[in-house]
Chains A and B, each alone.
Chain A
Amino acid sequence: MQNDTAVEVRNISKIYSGNVEALREVSLAFPRGKLCTLLGPSGCGKTTLLKIIAGLIPANSGEVWVNGRQVDGPGPERAFVFQDFALLPWATVLRNVAFGLELRGMPPEQRNEIARKHIAEVGLAAFEASYPNQLSGGMRQRVGLARALAVNADIILMDEPFSAIDEQTRRKFQEELLDLLKHHRKTVIFVTHSIEEAAYLSDQITLLSPRPGRVAKTIAPGIDHSRGPDEIRRDKHYLDTVDEIWQMLKQYVD
């Protein structure tokens, strides 16, 4: 495996009980330091593929390679950001962000210090002592992101992280995510069903076809993220990418 590939899946197939074929022979490589999107209509198995990469559900066949090693379970080099945030409702923002480190047995002072740094980074410094139910959806997902950053994994797996968030917050969050990633040089695998989101964020977009999920196409939008977000959204290249994806996906929608 080349050194610039962070994650690679080989011939992954997944059949759920009841003979639902979610994925068939999916092979894909995710380059290091890039943001790669898995895009497709609901039922295309994109979340299933992400959870197989995370080691949260087993594949029926196929291999997952992370940093040149084959894996069959969760590992410290991967951190997951959940669609429904998955925050402990009885724990403060501080404890939630430090939770990954708590599970690793890091002493409280040390883990809280690290957590505070990442809470500040996602702009929640004033809310360390709040409980998740006191926060808006956007703020909760910031907590989820801070928790993933706190364990210092180099691969971040994001499962439709913005789908439960309103459109305005979502755009703001997308910009901040790109900004954060610029500083951290993480590899991100991002699941979404939003074409615009994929085209705006990604270095690489993989379109999956539904039932069973297979790789339909891989696109590299090649959008220059050093420009401002408003400029990007008016850019011809960005609009062409959105249109190209839509032309592909249209056939799966009935």
Chain B
Amino acid sequence: MPRPGITSSPLFWQLASFALFFGAWEIAGRWPVSAAFPPFSATLLALLEMIGDGSLGKAYVSTLQPLLIGIAICGVAGIGFGIGMGLSRTVEWFTLPVFIILQAAPMAAIIPLITYLYGIGLTSKVLAVIFLAAPVVVMNSYKGIRNANPSLIQMCRSFQGSRRQEILKIILPHAAALIFTGLRLGLAMGFIGVVIAELLITPTGIGDLITYHSSVADYPQMFAAISSIILIAAVSLHALERVERRLFPAEIRGS
């Protein structure tokens, strides 16, 4: 049998696809497709420069603040609401319509309303994150609770388990994986929310870098700022997905 070559390693193909992507970007930038489209090399240099002079770091300190506060609130209140809706028909009746509407509403249209009510400060940005992230966090927790295997619940009752034991030992463990997935998807929505807020409410943080460099035609810097937020979102979501797979491997997941 021939020795497996370098081409059989998944890492090789991952690196190759990156090289292809950045190579195409470089060529398209040098061609150029548009005066506002810098090549990959110029973008990378601009990124290093912005890291070096501390402007990128400062931007992220102010961008991550509303994001983390918003996600933390979703994590506590959103999961709480979802679990409440899953367990109680009354809570479901009151809150489910709200979250269905929130899930369907185009958020960018609501942001001016938030600004009108809460001004242009941190509160409005946190709210933008919450409005985008909460529905998916709530709905996942709710579905996780509602999808509890009825046969397991009957099993618990057949051994005289109390309602409390039924919730703590069957329903919540069963829902845990979906709740975690909800949080991860909530974070993804939160990234969208915080950037929209920074672009639409007042330019701060990464939104400020993007708007400012675009207005003075520093396109490599603008692309560097855009690429950095995409990179950070992708890396953190991927990391959370790995944590999720480690915490809830396929063999212990409820069907």
Which residues of A approach B to under 8 Å, CB–CB? 51, 54-56, 74-76, 78-80, 82, 84, 86, 88-90, 99-100, 102-104, 131, 133-134, 151
Contacts and interface: CB of A to CB of B under 8 A. Distances in A.
B65 interface: no
The SS class assigned to the B binding surface is helix
Contacts of B173: 88, 90
B251 A104 contact: no
The SS class assigned to the A binding surface is loop
A131 B248 CA distance: 13
Given A133-B251, A133-B252, A134-B251, A86 B152 contact: yes
A74 B252 contact: no
Interface of B: 149, 151-152, 154-161, 165, 169-170, 173-174, 250-255
- Pick from B152, B159, B251, B253 the residue with the most CB of A within 10 Å: B159
Contacts of A79: 158-159
Contacts of B255: 89
Nearest to A96: B155
Contacts of B254: 89-90
Given A89-B254, A99-B159, A82 B154 contact: yes
B39 to A, nearest CB: 51
Contact of A74 (B159, B250, B251): B159
B161 to A, nearest CB: 4
B151 A104 contact: no
3 nearest A-B residue pairs (beta carbon): A86-B155, A100-B159, A80-B158
B160 A84 contact: no
A56 B157 contact: yes
Nearest to B170: A88
A55 B154 CA distance: 10
Contacts of A151: 159
Contact of A89 (B155, B160, B161, B252): B252
